[in-house]
Structure 1
Amino acid sequence: MTLSTVLGQILNKICNAASFYLASPQSSVNYLGRAAERLTAKLEDVNQEIAEAERNGQTTTNETRLLKRKAEAFVSEVAAIQRDYGAMRCLGGWSWNCVSINQRVSERMEEVSELISGVDVSKVAAKLPPPAAVELPISNNVVGMRSNLIQIVNQIRDENNSVIGIYGMGGIGKTTLLKHIHNHEDISKLKFEHVVWIVASQGCKLQKLQMDLAKKVRLKFEDDESEDDRVSKLYNFLKQKSCLLFLDDIWESYDLVKLGMEQVPAEHGKEQKRKVVIFTTRSEQVCTEMSADVIKKVEGLPYDQAWELFLKNAGEHVINIEPRITGLAKQIAEECAGVPLALITVGKVMSAKRSIEAWNEVLRQLKKSHMPKVTGMKERDPMLAAFKLSYDNLEDDNMRARLLCCSLWPEDFEIHKVELIQCWIGLGLIDEFDSINEAFDRGHFHIETLASACLLELIDGEIHTTKIKMHDVIRDMALWTASN
């Protein structure tokens, strides 16, 4: 190749480059603008997919995050080029500013195709790793629980304790206490790799506990696996992981080894992976059968704390109407015998009472309540009296029948409001309506009435929730009432 040929090629490249950089950038700026519009539309689709994935418990992939940042930077830079080009004053359509614009366009041209093809809307998310713990929704009321709460958190902190049992009668506040322990800030400081909450309830089988535990730690079981297969999977998955397991409302003892909660000796030079189980039950015998290192009985509240809880639910403005009502209120709170659920239930009933005669009658009813034994409770159990008071206080027999109807669902079952209302309509407990919408409106009104009387619970405590449940003690008493 001769020198003149080489020089010709060099000059040709210079001329091509010069023709590009010295040309009017209008067409290339317009091209970039259209590309930026396509990317913007793709980014909107990606953001929608990311939002949907997060609602389904997934997270954005690292590749998507990187491409998203690049695409956003590209769109931003194109917008800056368009602004600069629009503000540029070209003499006869051209100026030296065109060189700068063309140079910036050239740089963006090289990445536009890669970005448009790289942003894949169908591959934006991956499953999240299971969180160590998810905070449980619960009220901030810890009346009478603070001492037990601090004590049990310290017992969890003690590495000599692996199994902690909490027992007491229904309605005494065991579940509420357990939730406050679960949410306590010191629990997160213990750095358990898995903190799992499972509701057992009466009749719960080991298989259900295994399935629930596996689901919480994101371990997959096959439908046809035997109990031994499940035990093996749980054991091998959890043996080198620290785990804090909360079991609420167990009615029988379970072999914790079959839940993968056996303490495994630490490997040489490695930290011990603790397994701690804390559970609630109504039976002290279950605590002993579970070989609990710590057994804690939840007692009724002392009177001063019981009065504080009753006052909070009945309302100071009601109780302080006059001294005689205050005196009657203190006697009624005493009749509730320190049972939190009774104090709350009766307190809510009394919040609507204004006359001395009404308070006298309520006190008389509580003192005369004599009901047969049910679910292991004593005949004069205050919770039974509290339930009867709330039950009798409902506006009519139809409302009482609506409440009893809720006991048809299993214990701890989350009942869909729509299904409950359909059941009420079918049983004729909602009638004389002009349209189905009116019937459903009336049904929702009745649900809120029962919830405000603390006879039904709104899931998560939210009025707009789609589900409700019946406290297990309330359900026991509702079944007893229905059987008579």
Structure 2
Amino acid sequence: MTMIVDIVLPIVMKIGKHLVAPVGRQFGYLIFYDRTIKNLEKQVQKLEDKRFGVQKSVEEAEAKRETIAPGVERWLKTVNDLNEEAKKFLEVEVKANKGCLNGWCPNLKSRYSLSRKATKKTQSVEELRREGVFSTASYPTVKIDYDGVMEALTDDSIYVIGICGIGGVGKTTMVNEVAKKVEEKKMFDVIVMVVVSQNPNLITIQGQIAKILDLQDFGGNNLPTGAGKIRSKILNFGRVLVILDDVWKRLELNDIGIPFGDNHKGCKIVMTSRNKDVCNSMGTHENFEIGVLHKEGWNLFKEMAEISDEGTSHPTGLQLTQMAVAKECGGLPIAIATVGRALRCKNKYSWDSALEQLRKSLVKNISGVDEKVFKSLELSYDSLDSDEAKKCFLLCSLYPEDFDIPIEDLVRYAIGIELFERIDSVHQARNGVHSLVDDLKKCYLLMESKNEEYPLMGKM
């Protein structure tokens, strides 16, 4: 009998120990209801104070025309969503049940449910507030005479502007910012922005322009006819800005329908290219060159890789490796972002391996594209956590450059190649694809599109 007691008693005590905590927690939801609700209100206010400080830093950075760190933008959006959700919970659900829950109330179920929800929301708020610590909220925009570009846009003697730089240096980011500022200042009646790419299809480009101009009767199959309709529509506007992104070779703009030469009237053209000679061949009146990042590149890399400034005055072996990896990115924003994000929170062995890979990678030499861009993307691809993510990226790579990829296409392909294990429905496959696409965007292997249903494929 003694032997049985000696064996059973420790087991019972162990079971009891594991049961007491959960049961106590469930009763705590009832007993400490008021304290729980007040704590949630307190933490929401603390998060709002933190958000205000970060937002001020963002506004100051924007005033200096710096680029906001992606992690900061995502954090602010998450904070706004969570704050709205928490306030709605406090103002609607808690307030609606206040009469019943004030003091003693027989409706213990409501009291328990609200207290439990409040506890979980408080945990989410506290976790998000802890995440809101950034080494920097922004980093300097790529080196370019931004004021010069804006000034050229107001100069009536200049109507063709070139922005030049190697692939991955940030030309598209630059023209997107120009378009945003021009729209805010209402400098033009309409802004037309299209991607040209390495092998342009003029009919496709015409179709994109016609859609932006809202040309209802646009045919779309005859180049001269389409050009005439586009030209007529553009000239009917007072002032038009046409942005041609990623031009690889000379284009006959008149063939597309873009007013050029003596008949340009109020139409101005901004183009980006990896080759200054291409801009000159297009008759640019002024060219602006984008350089790589230097000291500011290290700041961006630290933000992407979440590297602390602590101890950098006497760097450790890991920190020296991290600096060497950053140097291999060559000051190119796209390389810095992809490599930094891929190595975030990795150990020293991963950093050593990455440095070796970046130094030894042999890449195909393509005119206008720095080899460091290819190396960085290769490393980012190799660092993906799952085979599903890699296969999803390869599916996206089958599409043409700068193509808006329909999510539903990826869903069908994922089902066809049995990308996911234990998927029982199209709904589950769709959720899986959305999750993979989101991961690829966070790694900068896919670019954001204006349409949420289309994850734009990154360009080289």
Decide which of 329, 348, 354 is 2:322's aligned counterpart: 329
- Determine the C-alpha separation between the residues in 2 that align with 1:194 and 1:446: 36
User: Which one has the largest radius of gyration?
Assistant: 1
Does the 8 Å contact 2:142/2:291 carry over to 1? Answer: no
Match of 1:253 in 2: 250
Change (3 A) 1:330 1:151: farther
Do structure 1's residue 425 and structure 2's residue 415 form an aligned pair? yes
Deviates more, 1:415-424 or 1:188-197: 188-197
Change (3 A) 1:343 1:274: same
Do structure 1's residue 455 and structure 2's residue 451 form an aligned pair? no
User: Any idea what the Cα deviations from partners look like across 1:45-87, whole Å, max 9, x if unmatched?
Assistant: xxxxxxxxxxxxxxxxxxxxxxxxxxxxxxxxxxxxxxxxxxx
Partner secondary structure for residue 164 of structure 1: strand
Do structure 1's residue 291 and structure 2's residue 271 form an aligned pair? no
Deviation at 1:147, TM superposition (A): 4.1
Decide which of 434, 453, 458 is 1:466's aligned counterpart: 453
Deviation at 1:273, TM superposition (A): 4.6
The letter for the 2-side match of 1:466 is: E
Deviation at 1:225, TM superposition (A): 7.5
Match of 2:15 in 1: none
With normalisation by structure 2, the TM-score equals 0.62
Match of 1:104 in 2: none
Match of 1:230 in 2: 226
Change (3 A) 1:232 1:390: closer
Deviates more, 1:242-251 or 1:339-348: 242-251
Partner secondary structure for residue 196 of structure 1: strand
| More RCO (CA 8 Å, sep 6+) | 2
Deviation at 1:374, TM superposition (A): 4.2
Do structure 1's residue 209 and structure 2's residue 205 form an aligned pair? yes
User: Any idea what the Cα deviations from partners look like across 1:325-373, whole Å, max 9, x if unmatched?
Assistant: 33322221111001110000011012121x3333222222222222232
Partner secondary structure for residue 323 of structure 1: coil
Partner secondary structure for residue 171 of structure 1: coil
Partner secondary structure for residue 244 of structure 2: strand
Decide which of 297, 300, 308 is 1:309's aligned counterpart: 300
Change (3 A) 1:233 1:441: closer
Does the 8 Å contact 2:220/2:226 carry over to 1? Answer: no
Deviates more, 1:235-244 or 1:450-459: 235-244
Match of 2:336 in 1: 343
The letter for the 2-side match of 1:387 is: L
- Determine the C-alpha separation between the residues in 1 that align with 2:394 and 2:411: 13
- Determine the C-alpha separation between the residues in 2 that align with 1:146 and 1:169: 13
Do structure 1's residue 243 and structure 2's residue 240 form an aligned pair? yes
Change (3 A) 1:340 1:424: same
Does the 8 Å contact 1:198/1:246 carry over to 2? Answer: yes
Does the 8 Å contact 1:157/1:190 carry over to 2? Answer: no
Match of 1:166 in 2: 163
Partner secondary structure for residue 145 of structure 2: helix
Structure 2 unaligned spans of 5+: 1-136
Match of 1:9 in 2: none
The letter for the 2-side match of 1:470 is: M
- Determine the C-alpha separation between the residues in 2 that align with 1:350 and 1:310: 10
Deviation at 1:447, TM superposition (A): 2.4
Change (3 A) 1:433 1:275: closer
Match of 1:357 in 2: 349
- Determine the C-alpha separation between the residues in 1 that align with 2:399 and 2:160: 32
Match of 1:175 in 2: 172
Match of 2:127 in 1: none
- Determine the C-alpha separation between the residues in 1 that align with 2:363 and 2:229: 48
Decide which of 409, 431, 438 is 1:441's aligned counterpart: 431
- Determine the C-alpha separation between the residues in 1 that align with 2:426 and 2:227: 50
1:381-420 equivalence runs, <5 A: 381-420=371-410
Partner secondary structure for residue 299 of structure 1: coil
Partner secondary structure for residue 300 of structure 1: coil
The letter for the 2-side match of 1:340 is: P
Does the 8 Å contact 1:328/1:359 carry over to 2? Answer: yes
Change (3 A) 1:196 1:434: closer
Match of 2:72 in 1: none
Change (3 A) 1:252 1:431: same
Does the 8 Å contact 2:203/2:222 carry over to 1? Answer: no
Change (3 A) 1:384 1:320: farther
- Determine the C-alpha separation between the residues in 1 that align with 2:430 and 2:328: 38
Q: How many corresponding residue pairs?
A: 320
Match of 2:91 in 1: none
- Determine the C-alpha separation between the residues in 2 that align with 1:207 and 1:328: 49
Superposition CA RMSD, Å: 3.0
